[in-house]
A and B are shown apart, each in its own frame.
Chain A
Amino acid sequence: MFFFLMTSINAQQTPAPKQSNAISIEGATAHLGNGQIIKNSLVMFANGKITFVGSAMAKIARQGTVINAKGKHIYPGFIAANASLGLAEIDAVKATRDFDEVGAMNPHIRSLIAYNAESKVVESMRPNGVLMAQTSPRGGTISGTSSIVQLDAWNWEDAAFKTDDAIHINWPGSFTRGRWWLGEDPALKADPKYGKNIDNIKQYFMNAKNYLASNKEKTHLPYEATKGLFDGTQKVFIHTSGAKEITDAVTICKDLGIKNIVIVHGDGAESVADMLVKNNVGVVLDRPHRNPNNEDDAYDYTYTIAKVLIDKGVLVCLGMEGQMERMNTRNLPFYAGTFAAHGLDKEVALKLLTSNSAKILGIDDKVGTLEVGKDATLFISEGDALDMRGNILTKAYIQGRDISLETHQTKLWKRYANKYKSK
């Protein structure tokens, strides 16, 4: 009865208030997110920032509330790159879909203002340790501008962690196939329009650059929105796969003077790894839980791709685009776990959700590792957070705020578990 009343009053979790008391977590295995671990650790934070990370053997005063986390694990909050959280609630209901605007060239379209801070899908991320996300528009050639949010907020302004961090481009493919439904040959062949298609993008940005250098007699909203790309304050996320496409994308962006380039998807990036390393280009990988592209691919192709790229020195992190991408974003830890099962060191796999993600998103000065001075965005898990059996959160903090781990789903769980218990 009690639960019933609760759920009928609050649809969403109330965002936690600002951290008022210092907190010390003692005895847990701390996974720093940079590849290192500290067993029997002490992690302290106050006013939203980490003030101490070290061994629990350290003879220093525990600040504020002390949490005994012996046998448990502490992780930096997981970061979902290239997600679209909060931009749709129910995939099949058009009225709830806000991620794909009409038009091909939409740099001025901003995801942030559509971000639904009260989404039931968003709150379901937190019990799995996903505490931050880059929420990105989809569709078109230039999809729009993403922002990075933290996942415990009253509204989008509250949620914004880095506003308008990147512009997303869907790079044209160099292959095309006939429209078989119109009776055309379905054979895959080199797209004769590929050159023209990439030229369109190039031309667009050259025009934008010229516009920005001009006296701007008339305001051009889309061109205005590209400013950050040229002054280095914004990144470009190019969604593409294939050696040729990746090479062209990087070369053209460099030529245009766009400095901060990230490749999203990146199937085939392994054959141009040196070029990516040389140009400092990171790759946001798709989830490994997808089928290989070709019938003859090894069954574990998608499980091993992270290791292949990391061995070649490429900076990679995990992203989330594709079927049921929003609700599945909470499975990111297990995607990293799958990479670990197939060759990556566990702590390296963890970087794909923490320090590497922060670097690729350009927020590594504030988050991504357990380090003094960084945001106290972290969580305590009963066990190995990359494994379903261990990923059981007891506490999570975003910028030191003690956030709720309840969701629409846990409420229903309790309500019905209780119903049968009282029977």
Chain B
Amino acid sequence: MKKLFFLLFFLSLSQIKAQDYFPTDKGVKTKDNKSFAFKNATIYITPTEVIKNGTLLIKDGKVVAVGKSVKIPKGTHTVDVSGKTIYPSFIDIYTDFGIAKPKRPSGGGFGGNQYAATRSGYYWNDHIRPETNPIDEFKFDSKKAKAMINAGFGVVNTHLHDGIIRGNGLLVALNPNSNNAYRILDDNSAQFLSFNKSRKSRQLYPGSRMGAMALLRQVYLDADWYAKGNMDNKDMSLEALNKNKNLVQIFETGNWLDATRADKVGDEFGIQYTIVGSGDEYERVNDIKNLNANFIIPINFSKAYDVSNPLLAQQISLRDMRKWNQEPSNLSVLSKNGVNFALTTHNLKSVKSFHKNLQKAIKYGFDKEKALAALTTIPANIIGNSTIGNLKVGSHANFIITSGDIFDPKTIMYENWVQGDKNVINDMNIRDITGDYMLSVNNKNYDLSIKGKGAKQTGTIKIGDKKVKSKFSFKDDWIAITLNEETGYTRMMGKVINASNVMQGTAFDSSDNETSWSASKKVKKEDSKKKKDSKKKKDANIPEVLPVSYPNLGFGNYTQPETETILVKNVTVWTSEDAGILKNTDVLLKEGKIEKIGKNLSSRRATVIDGTGKHLTAGIVDEHSHIAASAINEWAQNSSAEVTIEDVVDPTDINIYRNISGGTTSAQILHGSANPIGGRSAILKLKWGENAQGMIYENTPKFIKFALGENVKQSRSPNGTRFPQTRMGVEQMFTDYFTRAKEYDALKKSGKPYRKDIEMEVIAEILNKERFISCHSYVQSEINMLMKVAEKFNFNVNTFTHILEGYKVADKMAEHGVGGSTFSDWWAYKYEVNDAIPFNAAIMHNAGVTVAINSDDREMSRRLNQEAAKTMKYGGMSELDAWKTVTINPAKLLHIDDRVGSIKEGKDADVVLWSHHPMSIYAKVEKTIIEGKVFFDRQEDLKKREAITQEKSKLINMMLKEKLGGAPTKAPMKRKDRNFECDTLEELKN
């Protein structure tokens, strides 16, 4: 701590003064004159404030004056930069400059058993490290600095990229000629966060994205509790977090979905994160815009795929191919939507590609003024430092001198001054001699063409179309040319005269005869008309960007379906109500609801569907699904009540579309079964194309997953050691949690202060009958046990899911009032399902239990109608009762039967039109309608297939063109198939 105050103290003083008292053994004490004036320049004070023919005066590292008429004091070094442009140097506020990535502890390997934190005096979770102060590890990296300077950067913000809360940042001027005492502009510039775990610890928790989100929430609650003096222990993490509360909070995310997730957590605690994006924000720019966050955006564009091998090319998904085509438009899209963002070199393999990528983004329509702002004023503003990113009086003398428009590929960047110290990128004194010349020597004329920048300018010589063997060099303002012709060598030396339009000098032929040579520049005449044309052409030159669909992959929607008034005529209606099956009936859907069921209905403006020979049912409800989520198990602790699948709903999962193609319209996305107390559910309507929030039920019933048996005992895990390892332990674990939650709730209700604990809040909701349990269960002993535990705590278990031995305790279940949501015929895959029988549903049903058939499988969830039919085969359920097992019964179990699950007037218009009897093996879905919107239509689906084929072939051609044009490509990649099941464990990155 002391060290920091020390440092800050000096920073606040003038730098010259600080130098003064440092002893020297290098000779007599001298002091450089550090004032410079640059005159006749175009000066960008800010991206919007530009002076032509102005003067920039700097002294001791600061801007002293800038303007059209600046008085230059005596003794100032004056540089005439006429024709050149001066910009503020760039700022990158998201780097790891000078801070090495920590190494992982050796040994261990994948997984491991580290449940507890490895430190004391800090927060209980090793991945929360707000106390990290990177100044201890900071080493100015001259090599990296040089690369950044050459790319135009003057200041970077850096931090240790490690952990979920990562500690504070350093704002560093890239001044290799100075030392840390001067170039560290701020040693507490921001606080950093991410969804990635620390490499310094193998502590298992959090094991998933949703765990990381829950952890962040609990940390904020605990920090508040700590700040109020309620903890009797010392916690340096929470102290640091509270201390840095008012800094800008920068959150790194890996994709736009994670950006919305991070923002959601921040909003809950009144924190507006600045979000480090990933470059895919264009996919959902409206959602991104609505976050109202500042963004830091990388421009790491992917290479085209090498599609020359057609077999390999087939493996690339349209989603990945589109990314290549669409992502260069990201900055343009963000900017046009008014998103405030800074740019970063983060994620770039080499800083060198930064300008190339930025130029590409500009080519795709990104405004240059916005680009400059995104590199100067916006990052300065985000980081809260007004003395960088502009050339106002008093600001740091960080500026770039260029030959012109800095975003033009032809422009030469000459110098990048940082804190008033010069860094040469390209020697400004090297004349630009590029152009086409007519070279005359020995009465012969040649075409000389000079290209390149600075010292790297090279010339090629031709006669007509024929190239002449030659050597060209340009050094110290001298031009040297050697011609190698059949007639012999000609050597020439010379200089440029006459403002670079003419060069002349002496030449020697192969016989060493001296003569003279000259070259004069061919001046291209550009009339104004041509210029106009070329401007027009430039606009037309914006490369083709294929439209974004929602979600942005094959079968996505370009526009979302609208609520229609639909009249289905003369159809067989499966009501899932007492009315049973109504033949030759009409159903009117209006304003998203089932308006009327009857005969001979009519409605003006309704889209009429002829249902003759077809069947209309309520949309299928799947009580147990794991689709549409980025994580399923927070497996690293035996209870994870604090997490919720709602945090990680993934609306881009193709399985949503495949489910509606099979008539499933609602699904409970359950947490997995890795631990006895799992996480909270997300109950979704499978509205393909909407965002996560749009799919979650309004006023959604509250559910939580519990689990019993082999999975929670870690029966198949080689590392299984955590409590509980037996069914006996599971009972005690539940009893413990419910007991504690009861005490917690009592304290809370008493009005006395209490430490808010998300996990306890959730479990107390169960005790208060506000939240329902859906419990993964197999054998009768454990089923019976949980009912007895619940009864002891005076509540009922809502649903046993899987419940494969439910038939053995069906009478007890009916008495307790719990529902059973089971597989139709799965068994024999593990020991605890040895006695699973397909007659289970029928037996439970006959005993008075509300029975549903669920999938727990993204494949089965698209044909639950067939699974329902199996209850007729096994145990002889009636077809009406069988159909209820996938419609009204699961809706009842999920407490959404007031909205869905049957065809009844006033309910949501969630219906499916089938080609056959819905439980026939031959039934196909014709249309799936959710809230009066047609989300799946067989005919539309055929069109989508055709469109995918065409778009892929178009993209393949574009990529082939790119490859033949010489651009580097990358190997085709097949998407990793996501298959979340009950026991799928996400491994959170670290």
Residues of A that sit less than 8 Å from B by CB = 89-93, 120-121, 174-175, 177, 181, 185-190, 242-244, 289-291, 293-296, 298-300, 324, 326-327, 330-331, 334, 337-338, 340-342, 384, 386-389, 391-392, 409-410, 412-413, 416-417, 420, 423
In the complex, are the beta carbons of B553 and A295 less than 8 A apart? yes
Q: Which residues of B contact A298 (CB under 8 A)?
A: 941, 945
Partner of B972 from A189, A327, A387 at Cβ < 8 Å: A189
Cα(A420)–Cα(B842), bound, Å = 12
**Cβ-closest chain A residue relative to B829:** A91
In the complex, are the beta carbons of B315 and A175 less than 8 A apart? yes
Chain B stretch 794-839: residues in CB contact (< 8 A) with chain A:
807-808, 810-811, 825-831, 834-835, 837-839
Smallest distance from the beta carbon of A74 to chain B beta carbons, Å? 18
Q: Which residues of A contact B715 (CB under 8 A)?
A: 92
Smallest distance from the beta carbon of A112 to chain B beta carbons, Å? 21
**Cβ-closest chain B residue relative to A294:** B317
Q: Which residues of B contact A294 (CB under 8 A)?
A: 314-315, 317, 974-975
Chain B stretch 273-322: residues in CB contact (< 8 A) with chain A:
309, 311-312, 314-315, 317-319
**Cβ-closest chain A residue relative to B657:** A299
In the complex, are the beta carbons of A416 and B808 less than 8 A apart? yes
In the complex, are the beta carbons of A90 and B834 less than 8 A apart? yes
16 contacts across the A-B interface (CB closer than 8 A):
A90-B828, A92-B710, A187-B970, A187-B972, A244-B311, A295-B318, A295-B654, A295-B975, A296-B553, A299-B941, A324-B829, A341-B921, A388-B872, A388-B919, A389-B872, A420-B846
Query: What 6 new A-B contacts, CB under 8 Å, besides A188-B971, A334-B921?
Result: A90-B831, A121-B828, A289-B863, A295-B975, A330-B825, A412-B837
Q: Which residues of A contact B807 (CB under 8 A)?
A: 412-413, 416
Smallest distance from the beta carbon of B448 to chain A beta carbons, Å? 46
Smallest distance from the beta carbon of B232 to chain A beta carbons, Å? 44
Question: If the complex has contacts A175-B312, A244-B311, A296-B318, are A331 and B873 also in contact, measured as CB distance less than 8 A?
Answer: no
In the complex, are the beta carbons of A388 and B921 less than 8 A apart? yes
In the complex, are the beta carbons of A386 and B811 less than 8 A apart? no
Chain A CB within 8 A of B907 CB: no
**Cβ-closest chain A residue relative to B808:** A416
Smallest distance from the beta carbon of B952 to chain A beta carbons, Å? 7
Cα(A151)–Cα(B664), bound, Å = 37
In the complex, are the beta carbons of A340 and B922 less than 8 A apart? yes
In the complex, are the beta carbons of B859 and A327 less than 8 A apart? no
Partner of B826 from A324, A340, A420 at Cβ < 8 Å: A324
Chain A CB within 8 A of B679 CB: no
Cα(A293)–Cα(B654), bound, Å = 12
Chain A CB within 8 A of B373 CB: no
In the complex, are the beta carbons of B859 and A299 less than 8 A apart? no
Cα(A189)–Cα(B315), bound, Å = 10
Chain A CB within 8 A of B621 CB: no
In the complex, are the beta carbons of B860 and A289 less than 8 A apart? yes
Q: Which residues of B contact A331 (CB under 8 A)?
A: 825
In the complex, are the beta carbons of B657 and A423 less than 8 A apart? no
In the complex, are the beta carbons of A327 and B828 less than 8 A apart? yes
Smallest distance from the beta carbon of A131 to chain B beta carbons, Å? 17
Number of B interface residues in the complex (CB < 8 A): 71
Chain A CB within 8 A of B84 CB: no
Q: Which residues of B contact A291 (CB under 8 A)?
A: 655, 658, 858-859, 977
In the complex, are the beta carbons of B974 and A409 less than 8 A apart? no
In the complex, are the beta carbons of A417 and B843 less than 8 A apart? yes
In the complex, are the beta carbons of A416 and B970 less than 8 A apart? no
Most B CB within 10 A of own CB, among A121, A181, A296: A296
**Cβ-closest chain A residue relative to B654:** A295
Cα(A32)–Cα(B314), bound, Å = 41
In the complex, are the beta carbons of B870 and A388 less than 8 A apart? yes
Q: Which residues of B contact A412 (CB under 8 A)?
A: 807, 835, 837, 839
Question: If the complex has contacts A242-B311, A296-B952, A412-B835, are A341 and B922 also in contact, measured as CB distance less than 8 A?
Answer: yes
In the complex, are the beta carbons of B837 and A413 less than 8 A apart? yes
Question: If the complex has contacts A296-B554, A341-B924, are A93 and B869 also in contact, measured as CB distance less than 8 A?
Answer: no
Q: Which residues of B contact A177 (CB under 8 A)?
A: 973-974
In the complex, are the beta carbons of B830 and A290 less than 8 A apart? no
Smallest distance from the beta carbon of A359 to chain B beta carbons, Å? 24
Cα(A40)–Cα(B312), bound, Å = 54
Chain A CB within 8 A of B427 CB: no
Cα(A337)–Cα(B315), bound, Å = 29
In the complex, are the beta carbons of B311 and A417 less than 8 A apart? no
Most A CB within 10 A of own CB, among B309, B866, B873: B873
Q: Which residues of A contact B869 (CB under 8 A)?
A: 387-389
Q: Which residues of B contact A386 (CB under 8 A)?
A: 921
Smallest distance from the beta carbon of A420 to chain B beta carbons, Å? 5
Chain A CB within 8 A of B505 CB: no
Q: Which residues of A contact B693 (CB under 8 A)?
A: none
Question: If the complex has contacts A296-B952, A389-B869, are A413 and B839 also in contact, measured as CB distance less than 8 A?
Answer: yes
Question: If the complex has contacts A189-B972, A413-B843, are A391 and B941 also in contact, measured as CB distance less than 8 A?
Answer: no
Q: Which residues of A contact B923 (CB under 8 A)?
A: 341
Chain A CB within 8 A of B267 CB: no
Chain A CB within 8 A of B21 CB: no
Question: If the complex has contacts A242-B311, A296-B948, A416-B843, are A89 and B973 also in contact, measured as CB distance less than 8 A?
Answer: no
Q: Which residues of B contact A242 (CB under 8 A)?
A: 311
Cα(A330)–Cα(B825), bound, Å = 10
Chain A CB within 8 A of B716 CB: yes
Chain A CB within 8 A of B137 CB: no
Chain A CB within 8 A of B976 CB: yes
In the complex, are the beta carbons of B922 and A387 less than 8 A apart? yes
Q: Which residues of B contact A243 (CB under 8 A)?
A: 311
B634-661 interface mask toward A, CB cutoff 8 Å, 1 = contact, 0 = none? 0000000000000000000011011001
Cα(A358)–Cα(B830), bound, Å = 32
Cα(A190)–Cα(B553), bound, Å = 25
In the complex, are the beta carbons of B866 and A334 less than 8 A apart? yes
Q: Which residues of A contact B972 (CB under 8 A)?
A: 187-189
Chain A CB within 8 A of B269 CB: no
Chain A CB within 8 A of B5 CB: no
Question: If the complex has contacts A91-B829, A290-B859, A338-B921, are A187 and B657 also in contact, measured as CB distance less than 8 A?
Answer: no
Smallest distance from the beta carbon of B975 to chain A beta carbons, Å? 6
In the complex, are the beta carbons of B921 and A326 less than 8 A apart? no
In the complex, are the beta carbons of B973 and A188 less than 8 A apart? yes
Q: Which residues of A contact B658 (CB under 8 A)?
A: 291, 299
Cα(A417)–Cα(B827), bound, Å = 19
**Cβ-closest chain B residue relative to A245:** B311
In the complex, are the beta carbons of A409 and B837 less than 8 A apart? yes
Query: Which 3 A/B pairs are nearest by Cβ-Cβ distance?
Result: A337-B921, A92-B830, A296-B554
Q: Which residues of B contact A341 (CB under 8 A)?
A: 921-924
Question: If the complex has contacts A186-B973, A296-B318, A420-B846, are A92 and B829 also in contact, measured as CB distance less than 8 A?
Answer: yes
In the complex, are the beta carbons of A327 and B808 less than 8 A apart? no
Smallest distance from the beta carbon of A44 to chain B beta carbons, Å? 28
Question: If the complex has contacts A324-B826, A327-B828, A342-B924, are A189 and B312 also in contact, measured as CB distance less than 8 A?
Answer: yes
